[in-house]
Amino acid sequence: MIPAAVARLSRVWFPSGGIAASASEDAHSKLIRAGFLRQSNAGMFHVLPLGRRVQEKIEGLVARHMDESLAASRVSLSSLSAESLWERSGRLNKVASELFRLSDRRDVAYLLAPTHEEEITSLVARSVKSYKELPLRLYQITRKYRDEFRPRHGLLRGREFIMKDLYTFDNTAESALETYSEVRAVYDQIFSDMKLPVLAAKASSGDMGGNLSHEYHLPTPLGEDHVVSCSNCDYVVNEEIADALISEEAPSDSPLKTWRGITKDRTRLVNVWYPRWTQPRGGGELREVTQQDINMSAVKSVVPDLDAAVEDALPFWSAAIAPETKTATELVNVIDSRLPSSLVDSLSGLSPTIPSWPAELSPPTTPLPVSSCRGAGNDNGSLNLLRIRTGDICPQCSSGSLRVEKAMELGHAFFLGTRYSEPLGAMTTLPHAKRPSPMQMGCYGIGISRIMGAAAEYLADKTGLNWPLAIAPYSCVVVPGKDTSDSDALQVYHQISKVSGSASRFLDLVLDDRQRPLPWKLTDADLIGFPIIVLLGREWRTSKRVEVQCRRLGVKQSVEIADLPNTIENLHGAL
């Protein structure tokens, strides 16, 4: 009779094997080949049993901290949200391009929720009236939907994904900021439990609203953000809001370069002027500046409605100035502060010929207004249009040097204030107050499915996946060798299960009893990414010793069966 407590891979369906590895295989391809995922549509994936185990581990770890550390109550909100609610919050038109929209048989407009600020605020507004019911902390772990223009990198940028949302409601801004600090400390612990080296960076609140936010980034070459950190102080920010000191200057004879963009309404041509060469202040090697060095966030600080996704603006501008349309309204010159101030006058006073006008296009019959900006980019009035580089001076301490690295956002904390509670009527009346006041809100997200993809990407090597212990599908696999009896394998399995102490928290054993050759099973175990492999090989048959392998720690040792619990416990501590 097979003990019910024994987990066996023969009882788990995962279609591993049969897919050849490519020479440049990335972590997402390994997830497919190892049987964690299969693609259903562009940016959408079926999560198979092994992938589901990883997802459940992440969900469980996050939920435990929400329940125990923050005393938050778990809810499950509808995936459908009424467009009318998003119109009331003022957010519908701002994010319309990313929404999946639909109507019911009565032509009522709905959308598949990419996030739930409107719904949770409306729910609380209808349900909570007394200040005595606050603070309130509600969270969910659910599917979200976003019509990404270009889904890519598998789980890292999908159109359907799993997220944890925490929404907090407080009576005052002071208590809401205390909640914000408390949640941030819990987030630090969550990523510490996963053993992921996440950077907490101050960030822009964007379309979410509010005036304070932090992002949690995992450094990876596939990241779409750039995180800037100081070698000397606690300065860690998203590049979008970094206050760069201009540590380079343009040589006086440096030629100018121009990048051309266009506004989202296609009515204004934006000419970004910057030097072709820069060099460190005080001398040093010249550096050629390319289009990739332009900091689009700095440009958008001057032209907020710039469409940064457009790589070639001229076809759109050509249509805007065409005689049959004539929708063009203005030329905007954005000038880097390294360039001479005289450039502002020379550009602003010109009719739309050179240098403001693109040489590729014939000018319109009627000259367009021209505006130019060279300052007001940050607190000191300068406008640095070039990205921060590793080695630049820290603007906070002025003595440290900055490091810039690409990173993937795994979580985000927002202090929303009354951004949603005021328009949606989430109000309470405080003692001695003459009228109701809007609740102070915060929202805190963690990308569950994105963590799966990011952890796989960060830790995978040429051999296979390499999961953190806390979220691995199984923390330890027992692999019987040729001619090893099932009773021997179970003896080893049950001996490992005697692990005690902190290691028992993440111990998740499985027995690979599949009818496959031993070399195949070992290769598959490396591909799947089990943190620990226990092999009953040749030494087991001769001296009842097993081989314990841990690829990440470079461990491969022969162990007496009596010493197995202690060995596994030590490895758990190191992992």
pLDDT digits (tens, 9 = 90+) for 105-132: 999 999 999 999 999 999 999 999 899 9
Q: Could you tell me which residue, 241 or 171, shows the higher pLDDT?
A: 171
Strands 136-145 and 73-74: parallel
- Separation between Cα atoms, residue 520 and residue 437, nearest integer Å: 65
Long-range contacts of 316-325 (CB under 8 A, 24+ apart): 316/262, 316/266, 317/260, 317/262, 317/266, 317/269, 317/358, 317/361, 318/361, 319/266, 320/262, 320/266, 320/267, 320/269, 321/361, 321/364, 323/365
Q: Is the pLDDT of residue 252 over 80?
A: no
Residue range 502-523: average pLDDT? 91
- Separation between Cα atoms, residue 509 and residue 472, nearest integer Å: 11
Query: Of the candidates 169, 187, 189, 188, which has an alpha carbon nearest to the alpha carbon of residue 179?
Result: 169
Q: What pLDDT is recorded for position 372?
A: 83
Q: Is the pLDDT of residue 280 over 80?
A: no
Query: Of the candidates 429, 435, 410, which has an alpha carbon nearest to the alpha carbon of residue 224?
Result: 410
Q: Is the pLDDT of residue 350 over 50?
A: no
Chain CA centroid to CA 230, Å: 21
Q: Within 10 A of 307 (CB to CB), how many other CB atoms are there?
A: 16
Q: Within 10 A of 493 (CB to CB), how many other CB atoms are there?
A: 24
Query: Of the candidates 562, 538, 549, which has an alpha carbon nearest to the alpha carbon of residue 484?
Result: 538
Residue range 348-365: average pLDDT? 58
Q: What pLDDT is recorded for position 365?
A: 64
Q: Could you tell me which residue, 96 or 58, shows the higher pLDDT?
A: 58
pLDDT by residue (tens digit) across 12-28? 998 876 677 887 899 99
pLDDT by residue (tens digit) across 371-381? 888 875 555 56
Q: What pLDDT is recorded for position 397?
A: 87
Q: Which of 56-65, 104-113, 285-294 is the least confident region?
A: 285-294
CA angle 394, 400, 406 (to 5 degrees): 65
- Separation between Cα atoms, residue 145 and residue 114, nearest integer Å: 5
Q: Is the pLDDT of residue 391 over 90?
A: no
Q: Which of 140-154, 238-252, 307-321 is the least confident region?
A: 238-252
Distances (CA, A) of 196 to 22, 167, 456, 458: 27, 24, 11, 9
Q: Domains of the chain (ranges plus CATH)?
A: 9-28+463-574 (3.40.50.800), 70-82+115-242+403-456 (3.30.930.10), 248-373 (no CATH)
What phi and psi values does residue 272 have, to the nearest 5 degrees? Answer: -100, 115
Q: Could you tell me which residue, 343 or 409, shows the higher pLDDT?
A: 409
In the structure encoding, which two tokens stand for residue 107, read together? Answer: 């032509």
What phi and psi values does residue 244 have, to the nearest 5 degrees? Answer: -80, 135
Residue range 176-185: average pLDDT? 97
| 3-state DSSP of 109-131 | EEEECCCCHHHHHHHHHHHCCEH
- Separation between Cα atoms, residue 319 and residue 299, nearest integer Å: 23
Among 12-16, 79-83, 328-332, the range of highest mean pLDDT: 79-83
Counting residues of the chain whose pLDDT is more than 90, the rounded percentage is 62
At 155, the pLDDT band (50, 70, 90 cuts) reads very high
- Separation between Cα atoms, residue 329 and residue 212, nearest integer Å: 35
At 47, the pLDDT band (50, 70, 90 cuts) reads very high
Q: What pLDDT is recorded for position 392?
A: 84
Q: Is the pLDDT of residue 352 over 50?
A: no
- Separation between Cα atoms, residue 510 and residue 155, nearest integer Å: 26
Distances (CA, A) of 441 to 169, 210, 413: 5, 9, 11
Question: Average model confidence (pLDDT) for the chain?
Answer: 89
- Separation between Cα atoms, residue 340 and residue 335, nearest integer Å: 9
pLDDT by residue (tens digit) across 475-490? 999 999 988 999 999 9
Q: What pLDDT is recorded for position 363?
A: 67
Counting residues of the chain whose pLDDT is more than 70, the rounded percentage is 93
In the structure encoding, which two tokens stand for residue 234, read together? Answer: 């606690």
- Separation between Cα atoms, residue 414 and residue 335, nearest integer Å: 32
Q: What pLDDT is recorded for position 301?
A: 85
Residue range 523-545: average pLDDT? 94
- Tokens 């065409």 belong to 322
Q: Is the pLDDT of residue 3 over 70?
A: no
Q: Which of 63-77, 133-147, 294-308 is the least confident region?
A: 294-308
Q: Is the pLDDT of residue 244 over 50?
A: yes
Distances (CA, A) of 368 to 330, 439, 474: 6, 47, 66
Residue range 288-308: average pLDDT? 89
Q: Which of 32-46, 166-180, 493-507 is the least confident region?
A: 493-507
Identify the bridge partners of residue 373 per DSSP, sorted by sequence position: 334
Query: Of the candidates 318, 337, 336, which has an alpha carbon nearest to the alpha carbon of residue 327?
Result: 318
Q: What pLDDT is recorded for position 364?
A: 65
Distances (CA, A) of 499 to 366, 508, 513, 572: 82, 11, 22, 10
- Separation between Cα atoms, residue 126 and residue 390, nearest integer Å: 50
Among 56-70, 150-164, 302-316, the range of highest mean pLDDT: 56-70
At 81, the pLDDT band (50, 70, 90 cuts) reads very high
At 259, the pLDDT band (50, 70, 90 cuts) reads very high
In the structure encoding, which two tokens stand for residue 471, read together? Answer: 């979220």
Q: Which of 276-285, 332-341, 391-400, 509-518 is the least confident region?
A: 276-285
- Separation between Cα atoms, residue 177 and residue 183, nearest integer Å: 10
What phi and psi values does residue 383 have, to the nearest 5 degrees? Answer: -125, 100
Q: Is the pLDDT of residue 101 over 70?
A: yes
The pTM (predicted TM-score) of the whole model is 0.86
Residue range 203-232: average pLDDT? 86
